[in-house]
Structures are given as C-alpha cells and as structure tokens.
Amino acid sequence: MTDTARTPKPVRSSGTFTLGAGSTGATTVHRLGYGAMQITGPGIWDEPADRAACIAVLRRAVELGVDFIDTADSYGPEVSERLIFEALHPYPEGLVIATKAGLTRQGPGQWLPVGRPEYLRQQCELSLRRLGVERIDLFQLHRIDPKVPADEQFGLLADLVSEGKVAHVGLSQVSVDEIEAGRRVVPVVSVQNLFNLTNRSSADVLAHCEAEGIGFIPWFPVASGALTGPDTAMGSVVSETGATPTQVALAWLLHRSPVMLPIPGTKSVDHVEENCEAATLQLTDAQMAVLNEIHDAS
C-alpha cells in the first residue's frame, strides 16, 4: 500500500460529523465516506469481475482519508463485507464500518424485506464474523418489514446495543414518523434515504435530521445524467469550477447540510480519487443557488 503518512487526504476537507453526539461512545467521522455496494457483480449479486480492483479501491479510499465505509449483508450477498475484511483488516484506527440487515436476496436486482427479530439477530452475528469485529460501529435496519411489528424490529436493535454487539443504530428509507417511532425504542444516530440533486423527496426527513442532530446518509448520491450539458445549470457550475459533474453533485450535498454524509460508491480507483477530491470543492452561494433550482424529479 501507499505510504499513507505522505498521501494527501482530500476527504478531510469535508469536515466531520459525530454519530451519537452527546452520548457515551459517540463516533466522529469525516463527512465524505465510501459506499461499498458496487464492489459486487451485476445487479449487486455475486463476486465482482475484478476482485483485485475492488480491493484496490477500498484501500485507496482509506488512503485518501475515508474513515466511514457503508455496506450491507445483502450486497452480494455477503460479498461486500468479505471484501472489506480482505482489503482492510486489521482495520486502521478510527475507521468506522457501517453495515445493514433486513433485506434478503433472491437473485440479481431482487430484494425482499425480512425484519423478524431472530433473523436480524442472526444477520448481526454473521456480519460480526465476516467483518472480523467484536462490535459493529453502526448497524442499520435496511428496511422496516411491513409484515413484522416495527417495535419488535426496533426492540431487537436496542437489545443488540445493550449486549455490546452494536455501538450505534441507524434506519434506512424511512419517514419522519418512522424515525420518531424508532427513537422511542432505541437511539437512532443516522438515517439513510434516497437523496440527490434530482430527487429531494426526503427533504422533510433531512430537515428533521438537522433539527435532531441525526446523520443523513444519502444513497444514490450522484445523479447528474442529462443535467451535464454545457447549457444546463449543472454545466454552468462545472464550467466555472473546472470540476467534474460528479464532484459538483457531491459538493452540493456537502454544502446542502452539515448532517449530510454522502457515500459515493465505485469499483474504479480513478473514480474513487475523483469522488474524494469533491471534498475540496468550494461552491459559492451563487453556484449553490443555481444548483438548488435544478428540477426535482421526485
């Protein structure tokens, strides 16, 4: 690996956020992380075509200052967690690995929620084993299973915290009411919802997270696509900054809210370097205003 002491760490320019601020065992991370969903095969299924390249991406992300990696037992399934262990264990001090349970896989691109407490407990135990840790830094309920009482799912998460198997709890793709229902049972330090330049359907959830000091992890954080032409709002900011559309999209998220924790994913070293450099991009108020006016496709 590269001499990390001499490697520039652009991610540190993203600032920090403390998960569980004010509580015992609070955890501080830099706000630009890495999402490990894409280091699998097509449809988030099976092994990647180039396993060595994915391991190189994970190691390069950490070299560039990433100290927050998000994964899930269902990515592969199991593939992403195993690759993280292979690439990074024993983990460098301060590296926070978040994982999720609650979605099962039936094939490429297929996902089915299962939130029975015994299943979630089993998946936590298996993630502990695959990641090679005694406690999961952030354990997230991937989806609330509508077939199981929500309080039973939240209660299991609370049990895992009290047993010392989980440090912090997060929820994924939830409403404000669901966040508050969860918080009545277990402290919730993060929420992972779909959010990007063209889909802001979770704006109310983001506002709630800001008010309550909850980290907001936007999944699918980069959505530029047709926005990138030279005569578009995105194109004008790209031209002014000299950055790439991806960097502008990530910088917009970081500037959008102090609780925002983007986790762009890739299986390319070049792309992970591009993503990490987004942390250094400073957008002006005028540029933010232009980006804020981009059509919300949600």
Strand-pair category, 27-30 with 16-19: antiparallel
State the amino acid at position 30 in one-letter form.
H
Q: What is the mean pLDDT of residues 72-92?
A: 98
* Crossing angle (nearest 10°) for helices 269-277 and 245-256: 40
Are 73 and 100 contacting, i.e. CB atoms less than 8 angstroms apart?
A: yes
Q: What's the pTM value of the predicted model, to 2 decimals?
A: 0.95
Choosing from 34, 75, 91, 119, which is the catalytic residue? Answer: 75
Tokens of 124: 């936590």
- Please say if 75 is a catalytic residue: yes
More confident: 222 or 79:
79
Cβ contact 219:265 at 8 Å: no
Q: Which pLDDT tens digit goes with each residue over 83-142? A: 999 999 999 999 999 999 999 999 999 999 999 999 999 999 999 999 999 999 999 999
Average pLDDT, stretch 216-242? 82
On the question of pLDDT at 298 being above 60, the answer is: no
252 touches 221 (CB < 8 A): no
Does residue 22 register a pLDDT over 50? Answer: yes
**pLDDT (tens digit per residue) in 188-208:** 999 999 999 989 999 999 999
For residue 296, pLDDT over 60 is answered with: no
Two structure tokens written together for 160? 């895992």
Domains of the chain plus CATH, in order, are 11-223+256-266 (3.20.20.100)
